[in-house]
């Protein structure tokens, strides 16, 4: 009788171990997007801290790029018609 109980305990233990290992394999790994300091943003920030006039130039350039993108979108919409 004891041998049968011990065998069932081993079988249950092995089955539980297999289920635990199988559940670990199916978990999807989610990558969180972290900010990148290698795109020049750190340099721009430090530039603005030590030379505020340079920051104004960067803002004007960013505004000009935004306007250019808006006009490009308008051109794309007109070309599709």
User: Is the whole model's pTM more than 0.85, yes or no?
Assistant: no
Task: List, for the chain, all residue ranges whose pLDDT scores fall below the cut of 70.
Answer: 24-29, 34-40, 80-81
- Cα distance from N-terminal residue to C-terminal residue, the chain: 84
Q: How far apart are CA 9 and CA 16, in angstroms?
A: 10
pLDDT at 44: 73
Domain boundaries, the chain: 2-26+43-80
pLDDT at 54: 75
Could you tell me the two tokens for 61? 């350039």
């Amino acid at each position: 009788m004891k041998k049968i109980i011990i065998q069932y305990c081993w079988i249950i233990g092995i089955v539980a171990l297999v289920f635990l290992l199988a559940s670990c394999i199916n978990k999807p790994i989610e990558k969180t997007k972290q900010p990148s300091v290698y795109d020049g943003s750190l340099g721009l920030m430090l530039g603005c801290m030590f030379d505020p006039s340079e920051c104004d130039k960067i803002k004007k350039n960013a505004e000009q790029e935004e306007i250019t993108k808006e006009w490009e979108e308008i051109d794309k919409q007109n070309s599709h018609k």
